[in-house]
Amino acid sequence: MSYDKEFWDKYTEGNETRYNEEFSKFTRDLAISLRCTSILEIGCGTGIDLRLFPDTFQIYGIDLNDNALDIAKEKLSIGNFRKGTITDLPYEDSSIDFVFTHQLLNYLDEETLEKGVAEMHRVAGRYIMNCEKFEETEKQIDENHKYRNMYKRWMNYKVRIVSNVDMHEEIDPDKSRFTLLRKM
């Protein structure tokens, strides 16, 4: 997996301005309604999608960018933020109720994506959610990222597809594809 520190440092600088309260509320309300008590965001950046979770949750975030993690730790002191990669998650098997990504998988190369999906499945205890820019054929967006079809990626795993729809633009203006899976 290649990691472009300069690109992600710049991304981190603008991360706070991309805060989408509606998406954060949606994620929080979904996890609560599914009776989850622990959550992990992979590629958490500055932790903006995790800030509305109540302190009754065990909140975990993992990212490769030190600057983003410093901000996440400052803004959400109850969260457990760690440096790490999607291909080697530092959590026990089936240990986290709700594991999710929000526009991270679009940036990964094929090998990293395949290993990352396997790791997400391994650590998820109950649910997995991906909100990624979608295209059936997974065509290239630009030099840094690619549309993904996560429904297709999960077909070889023991999961039940709960939902696979475009997000409403009021929740996510990019209209990412919302894929929710129940681990079997």
Indicate the SS3 state at residue 46: coil
For residue range 16-33, list pLDDT tens digits in order: 676 678 989 999 999 999
pLDDT at 131 over 80: yes
| Per-residue pLDDT at 139 | 82
| Element housing 75 (H / E) | helix 66-75
| Per-residue pLDDT at 11 | 64
Average pLDDT over residues 119-136: 94
- The domains of the chain, with CATH numbers, are 5-183 (3.40.50.150)
Residue type, 17: T
Contact present, 121 and 159 (Cβ < 8 Å): yes
The CA–CA distances, whole Å, from 154 to 31, 83, 118, 123 equal: 20, 26, 9, 15
